[in-house]
Amino acid sequence: MMHTTFRTPARRLLSTALVSCLMLAAAPNVMAQSANASLRGQVTGAQAGAEVTATNVATGTVRRGTVRADGSYSLMGLDPGTYDVVANGQTQKVTVTVASTATLNFAGAASSTPGSTAATNLDTVNVVAPTLLQEVRTSEVGKTVSLQQIQTTPQVSRNFLEFADAVPGLIFTRDAKGNTSLRGGATNSDGTNVYIDGVGQKSYVKGGGVAGQSGSAGNPFPQLAIGEYKVISGNYKAEYGQVSSAAVTAATKSGTNEFKGEAFYRYTNDSMRAMTPAERQPNKGKEESAEKEYGFALGGPIIQDKAHFFVTYEAKRFDLPVTIAPDGAVTGAAGLLPPAGAAGLGPASQPFQQDLIFGKIDFEPTDNDRIELTFQDRDETQSQFSGQTSPEAGREVVNTDRRYALRWNHSGERYYNELMVTHEDSFNNPTPLTLANGITYTAPDGPEDRTIVKIGGASALDSQVKGQKGWSIEDNLTLDGIQWAGDHTIKMGVKYKAIDLYASDAAQINPTFTYSLGDPDFPDSIPYKAQFVKPVTGVSGVSGEVRSKSKQYGVFIQDDWQVNDHLQINLGLRWDYEKTPSYLNFVTPQQVVDAIYSQDPRAPAGQTYADSLALGGLDISDYISNGHNRKAFKDAWQPRLGFSYDINADEQHVIHGGAGRSYDRDLFDNLQLETTKLALPQPTIYFRNPATGACINGQAACYDWNPNLLNGIGNLQALVGATSNAGLEVDLLNNKLKAPYSDQFSLGMSNQIGDWLTDATITRTLSYDGFAFTLGNRYPTGQFFDDPRLCGGTSPGLSQAWSCNVPGFGSLIIGQQGIKTRATQVLLSAQKPFTKESGWGTSIAYTWTTARHNRDINEKYAFDRGLIGDYPTIRSNGAPRHRLVMTGSYAGFWGITFGGKITLATPTAVNDWYPVMQASGYTLPTPQAAVPNATGKFLVGGKIFGYRSVDLQATKTFKLAGDTELYARIDIINVFNFDNFSTYNYVKTNGKLQASYNETGDIIGTPRQVKAEVGFRF
């Protein structure tokens, strides 16, 4: 009979496992991924029980293990770095990388000097420190970014995530406002998660994936503090949670036994860059801009070999060039603007400043224990405007993020345990830059109105406070040396997190007046509508701010099963659970319920508004909550299976693949609207055409225009009446919200050919249950599209049921799930790591993508159809069809290190609507995808690219006394000054949406720009 045994059972192991399990039961979550490495292999000829030690060369810390009966050994919990590994009287220096498991074999007889391979036979003392290259016996799809790559690759921003761009399947973007984002596959950035020393940086309230990164030009973490990191684009193991796209796990630097430090200053301004496309237009000229980045890092011993410190500070001071341009569909209407509106268009400069601090103290009281205390702080202020928003209509955003982590790592003879307690405090607070009436100029585009420019004050919705604050406790236990039909390494973990989520929306300021220019049915001398904030009247149980004491729980178990020398199977299962009281306990106000079940004033007698919705297939009872009929989602079970097959058992040619499910979470920014929208609504009212007495586009109800309405928000509030809730938007969420998730599949092969690492993988990602808001209004016929005269409109036609409001209120907006994405990618990579012996290194990453979805990845409001399930599947705007990124570094003449990066991509599809003629003779807005014509060529061939950039850097180091050195560095970004446009013009003819780049609008990245940097290290 088969049975399971530990190779070296020990009372100490069993008792520790019991204690750990008790801790897990007492502190039930989502597990953080460790950034530590493991080292394992065979020691030929050694006796069972012989000691194996690994001593960190920089810090003097030691990890110990023993040789088992079959000659194998393992060392867990190694910080990435260089170690002296001693076994059976033999010593070798080796380097291990972040979040990896590497193989190091010791031979019993003399052999030649080892090469830089992942499985290395050693028998002599050797001062060379070969890097044990990234883990090849793994089912994960990803790549490690080294410190050498971080230091030598040109970069437009000191955001360490920028280097993930060189991993197939990943896209790092700096937009026209300087905001940075990292996306994986064909999804938006919300699905990513970044782990710093095992601590997830997930944003629970706003988008962007990483807390504080939504719409920010800042960095999530100081680059000086990053040692290296691993990017996993798919098929992650069960220890990864709250991620449905890419996962990044980074290891921070630590102090060493020597005092080490560095400082830098980086600068560029408008005289060191080319003009943007907008600045090259007649009568424009170059806008002033500047970027300053500076900082320092210092580390050293507190107690030699036992305790160390590390601290770093980095700052940004930017004035970024941006372009204010009309929506691409109505570019020609700019000539109709009055002088004040025209002045809002063109180049502008957007200020930004950021301060980042990171500190770490580590203490190793024994060879088996390591205690770390870390602190990180992010403070930034940014003025935000671009697109169609002029500087005066922009907003100022204050962004703060503070985190503490206390970690205790304990190593045993056959186990490794991580216990961590964390606290976070992360808030985003935008406010309008101008307190005044907002003025929006639009132009008609079929049945839609498109924005030309916004001037005056920002919307009242730009006054917000949103954030998360709380603590967590988690524990991971790794058991090694378990035998049953092979070798098993089992990792299990649990986490409990108590996090307060907070949101407040809008303030009673800045009403917005909208004018339509060039509309034959309405004069451009008066606004056709106004939006403003008005306190709700007579609706109970709502508030302008929402606090939710959410609880997150999770547990996982992962078995890495080495069946034999060829086959490894990775089996994992995790479960996540979250309780968000503000959603679960919400009670739909009785006044809203009564209105929904009252007579529909546009319908026959006896037909309620709920009946009208039901005729259209919408059961409103699915959205009305009594405080007890909502349950937290309990089915987030996530099986994960992977394999790797080493063809020759030498880690040279490995076939790998896997399948798994990953759940993310619903953003609190969406959940809170059910409460805040009712408490402080922003009604929209329309004005009559003085000449005809009609409302624009056949709106059902409108008011006479009075210029006095421009003289204070109180006049608008009085117009609709102090006790009226007409126009009050009603947001309701589905009572059975789940969590968004993705199913991932991959199959590929990795190879080590000489000094080269290559990989070819095909992946398939299916994402489900994305969140979106749709218009709940229905005509009395139950139709979403019908004749607007059925709800009091004056013009015949076919349009959405915007005028069919909830009786006594405004539009019904329903939150539901149903966004789906289907993506297939071919990921090809080749990497030759940099070595001092060769003097050069390079990486090549190519991604081919075909993806379809039923909603723009950047949009959560979908008003073109009644339900998100009604949307057609179209080509995704999440990724280009072809993308190539090449990087390289070279130790050149006169001690100069050169680096380069080439990025090429074909145009990415855009999503918009097209008016499709119906049999009735009316048109319906139909979502479509269009691919803009390519604008550029590169070296050979024709115009096939939508994005091109060649970046170069050169660094000269000057050696001074001792270990002190000065350096001077020049980065040239976009050497050939390629225009990489980010806005579009649309043409809707012959039944097809067509798009082209707006060649006077914003660009992705920067024009050609020179960045100068100086610094020193000691």
Give tens-digit pLDDT for 489-516: 999 999 999 999 999 987 889 999 999 9
* Separation between Cα atoms, residue 100 and residue 294, nearest integer Å: 32
| CA distance readout (Å), 318 to 72, 268, 382, 537 | 55, 9, 9, 45
Quick check: 923 and 447 in contact, CB under 8 A?
yes
- Closest by CA to 855, choosing from 912, 908, 906, 811, is 912
Q: Which two tokens stand for residue 489?
A: 């390494």
Helix (H, G, I), strand (E, B), or coil: what is residue 299? strand
803-830 pLDDT per residue, tens: 899 998 889 999 999 999 999 999 999 9
Q: Which two tokens stand for residue 186?
A: 């064909």
Count of C-beta atoms within a 10 Å radius of residue 290:
17
Q: Is 837 left (phi over 0), alpha (psi -120 to 50) or beta?
A: alpha
Give the distance, in angstroms, between the CA of residue 638 and the centroid of all CA atoms in the same chain. 21
E strands, 563-594, where?
Answer: 567-579
pLDDT for position 140: 87
Order of strands across the sheet that contains 247-252: 141-145, 226-234, 247-252, 193-196, 199-200
Q: Which two tokens stand for residue 436?
A: 């005044």
- Residue holding tokens 């024994």? 366
* Separation between Cα atoms, residue 631 and residue 936, nearest integer Å: 53
* Separation between Cα atoms, residue 129 and residue 120, nearest integer Å: 12
Which are the contacts of 45, defined by CB distance < 8 A and separation ≥ 6? Answer: 71, 88, 108
Buried b (16+ CB within 10 A) or exposed e, 240-272: bbbbbbbbbbbbbbbbbbeebbbbbebbbebeb
106-158 pLDDT per residue, tens: 886 444 333 333 444 333 333 334 545 456 778 888 888 988 999 999 999 89
Q: Is pLDDT at 955 greater than 90 in this prediction?
A: yes
Which are the contacts of 506, defined by CB distance < 8 A and separation ≥ 6? Answer: 460, 461, 463, 464, 533, 544, 676, 680, 682
Q: Which two tokens stand for residue 193?
A: 């998660």
Helix (H, G, I), strand (E, B), or coil: what is residue 660? strand
- Residue holding tokens 């019991």? 18
Range with the poorest average pLDDT among 35-49, 450-464, 993-1007? 35-49
* Separation between Cα atoms, residue 991 and residue 876, nearest integer Å: 19
Count of C-beta atoms within a 10 Å radius of residue 721:
11
Which are the contacts of 719, defined by CB distance < 8 A and separation ≥ 6? Answer: 685, 703, 709
* Separation between Cα atoms, residue 207 and residue 771, nearest integer Å: 12
Range with the poorest average pLDDT among 583-597, 666-680, 771-785? 666-680
Which are the contacts of 148, defined by CB distance < 8 A and separation ≥ 6? Answer: 833, 834, 841, 889
Class of residue 90 by CB neighbours under 10 A (exposed 0-12, middle 13-18, buried 19+): middle
E strands, 253-336, where?
Answer: 260-269, 290-303, 307-324
Residue with more model confidence, 266 or 39: 266
Which are the contacts of 1010, defined by CB distance < 8 A and separation ≥ 6? Answer: 268, 272, 273, 970, 971, 972, 973
* Separation between Cα atoms, residue 372 and residue 197, nearest integer Å: 10
Give me the mean pLDDT over the 1011-1018 stretch: 96
- Closest by CA to 878, choosing from 847, 845, 850, is 850
Helix (H, G, I), strand (E, B), or coil: what is residue 205? coil
Q: What is the 3-state secondary structure (H, E, C) of 918-973?
A: CCCCCEEEEEEEECCCCCEEECEEEEEECEEEEEEEEEEEEECCCCCEEEEEEEEE
pLDDT for position 13: 33
- Closest by CA to 131, choosing from 886, 755, 899, is 755
E strands, 202-246, where?
Answer: 226-234
- The phi, psi pair for 161, rounded to 5°, reads -70, -10
Return the percentage of the chain with pLDDT > 70, whole number.
93
* Separation between Cα atoms, residue 80 and residue 227, nearest integer Å: 8
756-775 and 861-862 strand pairing: parallel
Count of C-beta atoms within a 10 Å radius of residue 692:
11
| CA distance readout (Å), 803 to 600, 725, 806, 821, 946 | 12, 15, 9, 32, 41
- pLDDT band (50, 70, 90) for residue 963: confident
pLDDT for position 919: 67
pLDDT for position 916: 80
pLDDT for position 700: 64
- Residue holding tokens 């023993």? 66
Q: Is pLDDT at 323 greater than 90 in this prediction?
A: no
Which are the contacts of 942, defined by CB distance < 8 A and separation ≥ 6? Answer: none
Helix (H, G, I), strand (E, B), or coil: what is residue 696? helix
pLDDT for position 18: 31
* Separation between Cα atoms, residue 665 and residue 463, nearest integer Å: 25
Quick check: 967 and 1017 in contact, CB under 8 A?
yes
Helix (H, G, I), strand (E, B), or coil: what is residue 306? coil
Which are the contacts of 564, defined by CB distance < 8 A and separation ≥ 6? Answer: 486
What is the dihedral angle through the alpha carbons of 255, 258, 259, 262, rounded to the nearest 10 degrees?
Answer: -80
Q: What is the mean pLDDT of the chain?
A: 89
* Separation between Cα atoms, residue 381 and residue 32, nearest integer Å: 30
Residue with more model confidence, 109 or 707: 707
* Separation between Cα atoms, residue 909 and residue 852, nearest integer Å: 10
Annotate 844-879 with DSSP letters as a single string.
EEEEEEEEEESS-TT--EE-SSSSGGGSPPEE-SSS
- pLDDT band (50, 70, 90) for residue 920: low
Q: What do you get for the CA distance between the two ends of the chain, in Å?
A: 62
- Closest by CA to 894, choosing from 833, 955, 970, 837, is 955
| CA distance readout (Å), 358 to 200, 219, 596 | 16, 13, 53
53-74 pLDDT per residue, tens: 999 998 988 988 888 888 888 8
261-291 pLDDT per residue, tens: 999 999 999 999 999 998 898 888 888 899 9
- Closest by CA to 502, choosing from 552, 546, 544, 551, is 546
Q: Is pLDDT at 915 greater than 60 in this prediction?
A: yes
Range with the poorest average pLDDT among 465-479, 537-551, 607-621, 966-980? 537-551
